[in-house]
Amino acid sequence: MKPLRILILVAVGAAIVVFAGVGRPETAGSAERPAGGITVTGVGTITSVPDEAAFTIGVQTQGSTAREALAANSQQMRRVIDAVKAAGVEKSDIKTQDVSVSANYADEGRIDGYSARNSALVTIHDLSKAGAILDAASNAGANEVYGPTLSRSDEEALQAKALGDAVSNARTKAEALAGAAGVRLGRVAAITEGFAGGPQSYYESAVRLAKADAPIEPGTQDTQATVTVTFAIA
Protein backbone atom coordinates (compact mmCIF):
# COMPACT_ATOMS: atom_id res chain seq x y z
CA MET A 1 0.00 0.00 0.00
CA LYS A 2 2.96 2.36 0.13
CA PRO A 3 2.79 3.38 -3.57
CA LEU A 4 -0.91 4.37 -3.20
CA ARG A 5 -0.17 6.50 -0.08
CA ILE A 6 2.65 8.36 -1.84
CA LEU A 7 0.38 9.07 -4.85
CA ILE A 8 -2.30 10.60 -2.60
CA LEU A 9 0.25 12.91 -0.91
CA VAL A 10 1.54 14.14 -4.29
CA ALA A 11 -2.01 14.93 -5.43
CA VAL A 12 -2.73 16.92 -2.25
CA GLY A 13 0.53 18.92 -2.70
CA ALA A 14 -0.37 19.81 -6.29
CA ALA A 15 -3.78 21.07 -5.19
CA ILE A 16 -2.17 23.34 -2.58
CA VAL A 17 0.10 24.85 -5.23
CA VAL A 18 -2.87 25.51 -7.55
CA PHE A 19 -4.93 27.28 -4.85
CA ALA A 20 -1.88 29.30 -3.75
CA GLY A 21 -1.73 30.67 -7.28
CA VAL A 22 -5.32 31.86 -7.00
CA GLY A 23 -4.67 33.63 -3.68
CA ARG A 24 -5.87 37.34 -3.41
CA PRO A 25 -6.98 38.76 -6.78
CA GLU A 26 -5.22 42.03 -7.93
CA THR A 27 -7.20 44.95 -9.30
CA ALA A 28 -7.21 44.82 -13.07
CA GLY A 29 -4.62 47.10 -14.61
CA SER A 30 -3.16 48.26 -11.27
CA ALA A 31 0.28 46.89 -12.12
CA GLU A 32 0.38 49.10 -15.24
CA ARG A 33 -0.52 52.40 -13.49
CA PRO A 34 2.34 54.94 -13.71
CA ALA A 35 3.75 55.58 -10.25
CA GLY A 36 5.51 58.91 -10.91
CA GLY A 37 2.58 60.88 -12.28
CA ILE A 38 2.71 63.27 -15.24
CA THR A 39 5.19 66.16 -15.16
CA VAL A 40 4.88 69.07 -17.60
CA THR A 41 6.14 72.62 -18.01
CA GLY A 42 3.66 75.42 -18.55
CA VAL A 43 4.30 78.91 -19.91
CA GLY A 44 2.22 82.07 -19.41
CA THR A 45 2.80 85.32 -21.31
CA ILE A 46 1.14 88.69 -20.72
CA THR A 47 1.64 91.42 -23.34
CA SER A 48 1.27 95.01 -22.12
CA VAL A 49 2.16 98.58 -23.03
CA PRO A 50 4.86 100.12 -20.78
CA ASP A 51 3.73 103.12 -18.74
CA GLU A 52 7.04 104.10 -17.12
CA ALA A 53 10.49 105.02 -18.42
CA ALA A 54 13.90 105.41 -16.78
CA PHE A 55 16.66 107.57 -18.24
CA THR A 56 20.24 108.20 -17.21
CA ILE A 57 20.80 111.94 -17.42
CA GLY A 58 24.30 113.29 -16.90
CA VAL A 59 26.72 116.18 -17.19
CA GLN A 60 30.34 116.01 -18.27
CA THR A 61 32.60 119.03 -17.86
CA GLN A 62 36.26 119.92 -18.36
CA GLY A 63 38.71 121.89 -16.23
CA SER A 64 42.41 122.65 -15.94
CA THR A 65 42.39 121.10 -12.45
CA ALA A 66 40.31 118.34 -10.90
CA ARG A 67 38.76 120.82 -8.50
CA GLU A 68 37.81 123.20 -11.29
CA ALA A 69 36.24 120.43 -13.38
CA LEU A 70 34.26 119.09 -10.42
CA ALA A 71 33.05 122.52 -9.32
CA ALA A 72 31.79 123.34 -12.82
CA ASN A 73 30.17 119.93 -13.07
CA SER A 74 28.39 120.21 -9.71
CA GLN A 75 26.98 123.61 -10.56
CA GLN A 76 25.71 122.44 -13.94
CA MET A 77 24.25 119.21 -12.53
CA ARG A 78 22.31 121.14 -9.88
CA ARG A 79 20.68 123.17 -12.65
CA VAL A 80 19.77 119.98 -14.48
CA ILE A 81 18.22 118.39 -11.39
CA ASP A 82 16.26 121.55 -10.60
CA ALA A 83 14.97 121.66 -14.18
CA VAL A 84 13.89 118.02 -14.06
CA LYS A 85 12.03 118.60 -10.79
CA ALA A 86 10.35 121.69 -12.21
CA ALA A 87 9.21 119.59 -15.20
CA GLY A 88 7.31 117.27 -12.87
CA VAL A 89 9.73 114.60 -11.59
CA GLU A 90 9.56 113.86 -7.87
CA LYS A 91 12.75 113.99 -5.79
CA SER A 92 12.31 110.30 -4.90
CA ASP A 93 12.50 109.45 -8.63
CA ILE A 94 15.96 111.00 -9.05
CA LYS A 95 18.90 108.83 -7.95
CA THR A 96 22.58 109.68 -8.38
CA GLN A 97 24.41 106.91 -10.21
CA ASP A 98 27.94 108.09 -10.77
CA VAL A 99 30.27 110.94 -9.77
CA SER A 100 33.81 110.82 -11.09
CA VAL A 101 36.85 112.93 -11.96
CA SER A 102 39.57 111.69 -14.27
CA ALA A 103 42.69 113.11 -15.88
CA ASN A 104 42.96 113.75 -19.61
CA TYR A 105 46.26 112.75 -21.17
CA ALA A 106 47.97 114.28 -24.18
CA ASP A 107 49.71 112.16 -26.81
CA GLU A 108 53.06 112.34 -25.03
CA GLY A 109 51.51 111.05 -21.79
CA ARG A 110 51.33 114.31 -19.88
CA ILE A 111 48.13 115.41 -18.11
CA ASP A 112 46.15 117.85 -20.22
CA GLY A 113 43.27 118.87 -17.94
CA TYR A 114 40.56 116.95 -16.13
CA SER A 115 37.08 115.63 -16.87
CA ALA A 116 34.28 115.44 -14.30
CA ARG A 117 31.09 113.45 -14.71
CA ASN A 118 27.86 113.24 -12.72
CA SER A 119 24.84 111.18 -13.75
CA ALA A 120 21.45 110.42 -12.23
CA LEU A 121 18.78 107.83 -12.94
CA VAL A 122 15.47 109.61 -13.55
CA THR A 123 12.22 107.62 -13.49
CA ILE A 124 9.26 109.10 -15.36
CA HIS A 125 5.85 107.71 -14.43
CA ASP A 126 3.90 109.59 -17.12
CA LEU A 127 5.31 108.81 -20.56
CA SER A 128 3.43 111.72 -22.11
CA LYS A 129 5.76 114.05 -20.15
CA ALA A 130 8.99 112.24 -21.05
CA GLY A 131 9.88 114.43 -24.02
CA ALA A 132 9.34 117.67 -22.13
CA ILE A 133 11.38 116.42 -19.16
CA LEU A 134 14.32 115.39 -21.36
CA ASP A 135 14.24 118.73 -23.16
CA ALA A 136 14.20 120.58 -19.85
CA ALA A 137 17.28 118.60 -18.77
CA SER A 138 19.04 119.36 -22.05
CA ASN A 139 18.27 123.07 -21.88
CA ALA A 140 19.63 123.15 -18.32
CA GLY A 141 22.98 121.69 -19.40
CA ALA A 142 22.65 117.90 -19.57
CA ASN A 143 24.96 116.63 -22.29
CA GLU A 144 24.54 112.90 -21.67
CA VAL A 145 21.18 111.14 -21.93
CA TYR A 146 20.83 107.36 -22.10
CA GLY A 147 17.67 105.29 -22.29
CA PRO A 148 14.87 104.63 -22.07
CA THR A 149 14.37 101.50 -20.00
CA LEU A 150 10.62 100.94 -20.28
CA SER A 151 8.57 99.12 -17.64
CA ARG A 152 5.13 98.70 -16.08
CA SER A 153 4.07 100.20 -12.76
CA ASP A 154 1.94 97.08 -12.04
CA GLU A 155 4.61 94.54 -12.92
CA GLU A 156 3.91 92.34 -9.86
CA ALA A 157 0.25 91.98 -10.79
CA LEU A 158 1.19 91.11 -14.38
CA GLN A 159 3.68 88.52 -13.12
CA ALA A 160 1.00 86.93 -10.93
CA LYS A 161 -1.37 86.70 -13.90
CA ALA A 162 1.37 85.19 -16.04
CA LEU A 163 1.94 82.53 -13.35
CA GLY A 164 -1.77 81.69 -13.34
CA ASP A 165 -1.76 81.33 -17.11
CA ALA A 166 1.35 79.13 -16.88
CA VAL A 167 -0.42 76.72 -14.49
CA SER A 168 -3.45 76.57 -16.83
CA ASN A 169 -1.14 75.85 -19.74
CA ALA A 170 0.53 73.06 -17.76
CA ARG A 171 -2.84 71.46 -16.96
CA THR A 172 -3.86 71.56 -20.63
CA LYS A 173 -0.65 69.76 -21.60
CA ALA A 174 -1.05 67.18 -18.83
CA GLU A 175 -4.66 66.45 -19.82
CA ALA A 176 -3.55 65.83 -23.39
CA LEU A 177 -0.86 63.42 -22.20
CA ALA A 178 -3.26 61.64 -19.85
CA GLY A 179 -5.80 61.20 -22.64
CA ALA A 180 -3.16 59.78 -24.97
CA ALA A 181 -2.03 57.35 -22.25
CA GLY A 182 -5.57 56.26 -21.41
CA VAL A 183 -5.48 57.41 -17.79
CA ARG A 184 -7.26 60.09 -15.74
CA LEU A 185 -5.49 63.14 -14.40
CA GLY A 186 -5.42 63.48 -10.62
CA ARG A 187 -4.51 66.25 -8.18
CA VAL A 188 -1.42 68.42 -8.34
CA ALA A 189 1.39 66.59 -6.55
CA ALA A 190 4.14 69.20 -6.95
CA ILE A 191 4.65 72.59 -8.57
CA THR A 192 7.82 74.63 -9.09
CA GLU A 193 8.19 78.13 -10.47
CA GLY A 194 10.75 78.40 -13.24
CA PHE A 195 12.67 81.47 -14.41
CA ALA A 196 11.68 83.00 -17.71
CA GLY A 197 13.34 86.37 -17.25
CA GLY A 198 11.67 89.67 -16.52
CA PRO A 199 9.80 91.82 -18.98
CA GLN A 200 11.71 92.67 -22.11
CA SER A 201 13.25 96.13 -21.77
CA TYR A 202 14.00 98.51 -24.58
CA TYR A 203 17.25 100.40 -24.19
CA GLU A 204 18.92 102.69 -26.69
CA SER A 205 22.51 103.85 -26.32
CA ALA A 206 21.52 107.51 -26.49
CA VAL A 207 18.56 109.80 -27.18
CA ARG A 208 19.15 112.77 -29.47
CA LEU A 209 17.53 115.87 -28.01
CA ALA A 210 16.12 118.50 -30.33
CA LYS A 211 14.27 121.76 -29.72
CA ALA A 212 10.97 119.92 -29.95
CA ASP A 213 9.97 117.29 -27.41
CA ALA A 214 11.90 114.06 -27.92
CA PRO A 215 9.36 111.43 -29.11
CA ILE A 216 9.03 108.36 -26.87
CA GLU A 217 7.12 105.39 -28.30
CA PRO A 218 6.45 102.73 -25.62
CA GLY A 219 5.62 99.83 -27.94
CA THR A 220 4.77 96.61 -26.07
CA GLN A 221 6.56 94.22 -23.74
CA ASP A 222 6.01 90.63 -22.62
CA THR A 223 5.87 89.47 -19.02
CA GLN A 224 6.49 85.72 -18.95
CA ALA A 225 6.35 83.01 -16.30
CA THR A 226 7.09 79.28 -16.36
CA VAL A 227 6.06 76.52 -13.95
CA THR A 228 6.82 72.81 -13.74
CA VAL A 229 3.82 70.83 -12.45
CA THR A 230 3.52 67.16 -11.53
CA PHE A 231 0.00 65.69 -11.62
CA ALA A 232 -0.89 62.43 -9.95
CA ILE A 233 -2.64 59.66 -11.91
CA ALA A 234 -6.22 59.20 -10.69
Question: Does 18 map to a domain?
Answer: no
Please say which residue of 151, 167, 187 terminates a domain. Answer: 151
Please check whether residue 224 lies inside any domain of the structure: yes
Its domain, for residue 227, covers 32-50+153-207+217-234
139: domain CATH number? 3.30.70.2970
Same domain for 58 and 145, yes or no, is yes
Q: Count the Cβ atoms, other than its own, within 10 Å of residue 189.
A: 14
**Least confident window among 87-96, 168-177, 182-191, 196-205:** 196-205
Statement: residue 175 has pLDDT above 60: yes
What is the reported pLDDT for 198?
A: 55
Q: Is residue 20 in a domain?
A: no
* CATH code assigned at 233: 3.30.110.170
pLDDT at residue 114, as a whole number: 97
| Average pLDDT score, the chain | 83
Q: Are residues 135 and 166 in the same domain?
A: no
- The answer on 161 and 102 residing in a single domain is no
pLDDT digits (tens, 9 = 90+) for 46-95: 999 999 999 999 999 999 999 999 999 999 999 999 999 999 999 999 99
* Whether 159 and 112 share a structural domain: no
pTM over 0.85? The answer is: no
Residues 187 and 117 in one domain: no
- The whole-number pLDDT of residue 196 equals 58
**Quick one: pLDDT band at residue 15, thresholds 50, 70, 90?**
very low
Number of domains the chain contains: 2
**Is 10 inside any structural domain?**
no
Q: Which residues contact 69 (CB under 8 A, 6 or more apart)?
A: 61, 62, 63, 101, 113, 114, 115, 116
Strands in 185-193's sheet, in edge-to-edge order, are 38-48, 221-233, 185-193
pLDDT at position 215 is 76
Segment 99-134, tens digit of pLDDT? 999 999 998 889 999 999 999 999 999 999 999 999
Listed residues 151, 171, 186: the one ending a domain:
151
* 211: pLDDT strictly greater than 50: no
Q: Are 201 and 149 in contact (CB under 8 A)?
A: yes
Report the share of the chain in percent with pLDDT over 90: 71
Q: What is the pLDDT of residue 213?
A: 64
Q: Are both 157 and 147 inside the same structural domain?
A: no
Which of 121, 151, 181 terminates a domain? The answer is 151
